[in-house]
């Protein structure tokens, strides 16, 4: 409908943008894939937009950023055979309709050889009309607690008795890794956390038996994220709140905002638990789907990692058990579920899937907001938070139907 | 001189906006005939801008063939500072209308050579054929633009040091910190405004009542620079009831009796 040509100035009109923690009527201006300051252009360059686009009064919000997704559409990031031959691209493309513009493919506890094969295949890529961008891999395991293994295979779980050397030996090249989930109670974990953080890897605490003190120590050493809060960790107890207690801890470094992933699919986290987390630490809430390859597939049995899983009644379990092994929910549905369950309002609901994950990944200066000079990755939503269109770097990459937007004028 | 007395601020805003609209329509601007408008900033004209934006959204007015010249701008304040007059005009008017950015002129308070900037601003006005309608507000001390009390009544665009009252009054826009308020501004002169074909001054609120009295009932005085327009052949003051508190009953009654005549000036042409 319009080209995304270099140097052209786009003015998205008739929209309600999410900016500075408010939703208000304002135009969004885009050029060369970035959100630009129209005031500066008006007074300094003295030019008008090349294209004006009518957004028909939709909400215009930053694109969603997903930090934990194991797979989708039959592709499992932990199974090499499913990701070769275009498997990664299939997920990248498929996620666009959920409003996801960037994500972290997540690899669960696997043998060393698998990491060494898979990690080099999942490269950091920019988003485009071919699909959402990849920020880096989230390696969930294998340095986790056997007691809190969840759906991970116990015999593959490892310790780092030799410290960071074991981490390198396990994964091989670390350059494609963005996040590592580890259990902070493991021997040498505090040293490993420091080493990871020094290398720019985000450390997330999870699949863990840790008490609160151990969790606080990990935060002091640079950990900043908690993997799917409530799931695969000891439950809140009033005499030791365990990792859940990090949300209200007053023993963290000054001005620390802890972030925690939460699966708001209505199954992995009870709505009341979701409300507790949202009420006590709204700024740290990060929506994750933790979706598995069966997302978008019909009910039945599938291979997940090295295990059989079963999809039935909107749940994914280890076949023959009641153990949950990831969800099959979409990101936009999590946003709606959160808004509905917590009545937190559109602003927070949308920020938990955009601004907050961008902060986790330390990329909020370029993604997760509609601030000037950031990437023009954004979505259009209906009032009830259904995604209508997705844009990456200013380009329309997906739309629900042909009439979501219309070009109202063009200056030739 | 015309004096239009209305009930309150919102009526003043609407009346002024309708008058501006009517003037532009009557002028019948086009690609070879631009309507030139002198514009103020501040809280007084805000309501008028809002109304003009409303009219624009209802397709009742276009600024496609309008050139604007703003009265003033602080010196040394970043252009995108929220309190700069560039930002004011962008946020409260320009971004909502269809004006071509090439036609919107605001003095550059960050120009390398401020004097050259002032001279070139005067020249731009002249090249545009002069100002057709200059709109202004006034301070409680009767200043027009940044022509503080004591300014020459034949002054041109120049650098001006702000009066202490103005700095204190403006501190509310800079977090209440007087030290953050710029102390200088570029401003059109009283003479620059006098050259316009018509001058329209908005005055609202009881705190401006004495200034209105000084503007129209007392003599011409450089301590009340707005009084200079007594010598302008076409000046229209638009005020609310509160602003008339210091006027003579006779003055108020006389102009109120003319309202039916003045109202015709802003209504749609028959």
Q: pLDDT digit of tens for each residue in chain B (270 aa)?
A: 999 999 999 999 999 999 999 999 999 999 999 999 999 999 999 999 999 999 999 999 999 999 999 999 999 999 999 999 999 999 999 999 999 999 999 999 999 999 999 999 999 999 999 999 999 999 899 999 999 999 999 999 999 998 888 899 889 989 999 999 999 999 999 999 999 999 999 999 999 999 999 999 999 999 999 999 999 999 999 999 999 999 999 999 999 999 999 999 998 876
Contact A39 B104 (CB under 8 A): no
- To the nearest whole Å, the CA of A47 is away from the closest chain B CA by 6
Contact A48 B79 (CB under 8 A): no
pLDDT in the model for residue A326:
72
CA distance A201 to A168: 13
- Positions at the binding site of A for Zn(2+): 140, 207, 228
Chain A residues inside the 8 Å CB shell of B86? 39, 43
Give the number of A-B residue pairs with CB atoms closer than 8 Å: 32
Collapsing DSSP to helix, strand or coil, A60 comes out as strand
Residues of chain B in contact with residue A43, where contact means CB-CB under 8 angstroms, are 79, 86, 90, 101, 104, 106
B134 lies in some domain: yes
> Which segments of A are annotated as binding site for substrate?
151, 231-232, 239, 268, 324-326
Q: What is the pLDDT of residue A371?
A: 98
Residues of B in contact with A408 (CB under 8 A): none
> Helices A164-171 and A189-198, interaxial angle, to 10°?
60
Question: Cα(A321)–Cα(A255) distance, rounded to whole angstroms?
Answer: 43
* Pairing between β-strand A137-140 and β-strand A202-205 as defined by DSSP bridges: unpaired
Q: Which residues of B touch A46 (CB under 8 A)?
A: 100-102
Transcribe B170-225 into DSSP letters: HGGGGTT-GGGS-SEEEE--HHHHHTSSEEEEEE-SGGGHHHHHHHHTS--BTTBG
CATH topology of domain A9-62+373-410: Urease, subunit C; domain 1 (2.30.40)
How many structural domains is chain B composed of? Answer: 1
Q: What distance in Å separates residue B53's CA from the closest CA in chain A?
A: 14
Task: Express each pLDDT in B114-123 by its tens digit.
Answer: 999 999 999 9
The tens-digit pLDDT sequence of chain A (412 residues) is: 566 678 999 999 999 999 999 999 999 999 999 999 999 999 999 999 999 999 999 999 999 999 999 999 989 999 999 998 899 999 999 999 999 999 999 999 999 999 999 999 999 999 999 999 999 999 999 999 999 998 899 999 999 999 999 999 999 999 999 999 999 999 999 999 999 999 999 999 999 999 999 999 999 999 999 999 999 999 999 999 999 999 999 999 999 999 999 999 888 899 999 999 999 999 999 999 999 988 988 888 887 656 788 888 878 888 888 887 778 999 999 999 999 999 999 999 999 999 999 999 999 999 999 999 999 999 999 999 999 999 999 999 999 988 899 987 765 4
Q: Which residues of A are part of a known binding site?
A: 140, 151, 207, 228, 231-232, 239, 268, 324-326
Chain B residues whose C-beta is within 8 A of a chain A C-beta are: 79-80, 86-87, 90-91, 94-95, 100-102, 104, 106
- List B141, B195, B198, B240, catalytic entry: B141
User: What's the token pair of residue A111?
Assistant: 């043998």
CATH of the domain at B180: 3.40.50.1360
- Interface ipTM above 0.90: yes
pLDDT reported for residue A267: 87
Pull the structure tokens for residue A281: 């630490």
Whether residue B216 lies inside any domain: the answer is: yes
d(CA B185, CA B75): 5
Catalytic residue check, B73: no
The residue ranges of every structural domain in chain A are: 9-62+373-410, 64-360
Q: Which residues contact B177 (CB under 8 A, 6 or more apart)?
A: B171
**Contact between B101 and A37 using a beta-carbon 8 Å cutoff:** no
Question: What CATH code is assigned to A64-360?
Answer: 3.20.20.140
**How close is the nearest chain B Cα to the Cα of A270, in Å?**
44
Instruction: Pick the residue of B62, B80, B105 with the most A CBs within 10 A to test the interface with A by mutation.
Output: B80
Backbone φ, ψ for residue A38 (5° rounding): -65, -25
- How distant is the Cα of B21 from the closest Cα of chain A, in angstroms? 23
């Amino acid at each position: 409908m319009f080209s995304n040509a270099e140097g052209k100035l786009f003015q998205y009109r008739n929209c309600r943008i999410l900016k500075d923690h408010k939703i208000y009527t304002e135009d969004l201006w885009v050029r060369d894939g970035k959100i630009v300051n129209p005031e500066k252009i008006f007074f300094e360059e003295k030019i008008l937009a090349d294209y004006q686009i009518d957004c028909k009064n939709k909400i215009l919000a930053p694109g969603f950023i997903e930090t934990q997704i194991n797979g989708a559409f039959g592709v499992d990031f932990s199974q090499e055979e499913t990701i070769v031959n275009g498997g990664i691209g299939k997920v990248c493309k498929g996620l666009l309709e959920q409003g996801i513009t960037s994500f972290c493919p997540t690899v669960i506890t696997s043998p060393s050889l698998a990491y060494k094969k898979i990690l080099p295949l999942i490269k950091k890529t920019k988003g485009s009309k071919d699909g959402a961008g990849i920020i880096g891999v989230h390696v969930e395991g294998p340095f986790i607690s056997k007691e809190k293994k969840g759906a991970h295979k116990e015999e593959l779980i490892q310790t780092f008795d030799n410290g960071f050397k074991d981490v390198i030996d396990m994964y091989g090249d670390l350059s494609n890794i963005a996040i590592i989930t580890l259990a902070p109670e493991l021997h040498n974990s505090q040293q490993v956390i420091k080493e990871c953080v020094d290398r720019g890897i985000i450390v997330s605490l999870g699949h863990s038996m840790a008490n609160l003190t151990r969790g606080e120590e990990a935060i002091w050493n640079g950990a900043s994220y908690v993997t799917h809060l409530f799931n695969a960790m000891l439950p809140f107890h009033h005499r030791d709140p365990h990792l859940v207690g990090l949300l209200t801890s007053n023993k963290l470094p000054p001005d620390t905002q802890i972030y925690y992933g939460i699966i708001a699919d209505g199954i992995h986290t009870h709505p009341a638990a979701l409300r507790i987390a949202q009420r006590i630490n709204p700024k740290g809430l990060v929506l994750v789907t933790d979706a598995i390859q069966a997302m978008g597939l019909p009910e039945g049995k599938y291979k997940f990692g090295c295990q059989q899983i079963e999809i039935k009644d909107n749940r994914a379990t280890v076949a023959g058990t009641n153990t949950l092994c990831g969800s099959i929910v979409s990101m936009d549905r999590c946003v709606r579920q959160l808004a509905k369950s917590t009545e937190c309002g559109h602003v927070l609901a949308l920020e938990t899937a955009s601004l907050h994950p961008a902060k986790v990944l330390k990329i909020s200066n370029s993604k997760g907001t509609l601030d000037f000079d950031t990437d023009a990755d954004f979505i259009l939503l209906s009032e009830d938070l259904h995604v209508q269109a997705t844009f990456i770097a200013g380009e329309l990459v997906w739309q629900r139907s042909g009439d979501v937007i219309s070009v109202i004028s063009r200056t030739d | 001189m015309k004096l239009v007395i209305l009930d309150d601020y919102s009526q003043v805003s609407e009346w002024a906006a309708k008058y501006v609209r009517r003037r532009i329509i009557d002028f019948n601007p086009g690609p070879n005939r631009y309507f030139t408008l002198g514009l103020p900033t501040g809280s007084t004209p805000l309501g008028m801008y809002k109304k003009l934006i409303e009219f624009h959204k209802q397709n009742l007015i276009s600024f496609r063939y309008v050139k604007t010249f703003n009265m003033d701008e602080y010196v040394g304040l970043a252009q995108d500072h929220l309190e700069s007059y560039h930002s004011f005009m962008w946020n409260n008017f320009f971004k909502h209308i269809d004006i071509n950015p090439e036609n919107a002129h605001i003095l550059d308070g960050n120009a390398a050579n401020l004097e050259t900037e002032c001279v070139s601003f005067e020249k731009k006005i002249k090249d545009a054929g002069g100002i057709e309608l200059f709109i202004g507000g006034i301070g409680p001390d009767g200043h027009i633009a940044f022509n503080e009390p004591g300014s020459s009544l034949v002054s041109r665009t120049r650098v001006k040091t702000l009066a202490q009252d103005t700095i204190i009054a403006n501190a509310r826009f800079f977090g209440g910190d007087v030290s953050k308020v710029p102390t200088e501004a570029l401003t059109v002169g009283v003479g620059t405004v006098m050259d316009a074909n018509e001058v329209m001054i908005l005055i609202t609120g009881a705190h401006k009542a004495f200034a209105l009295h000084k503007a129209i009932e007392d003599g011409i005085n450089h301590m009340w620079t707005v009084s200079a327009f007594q010598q302008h052949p076409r000046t229209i003051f638009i005020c609310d009831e509160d602003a008339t508190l210091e006027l003579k009953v006779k003055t108020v009654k006389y102009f109120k009796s003319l309202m039916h005549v003045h109202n015709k000036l802003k209504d749609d042409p028959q």
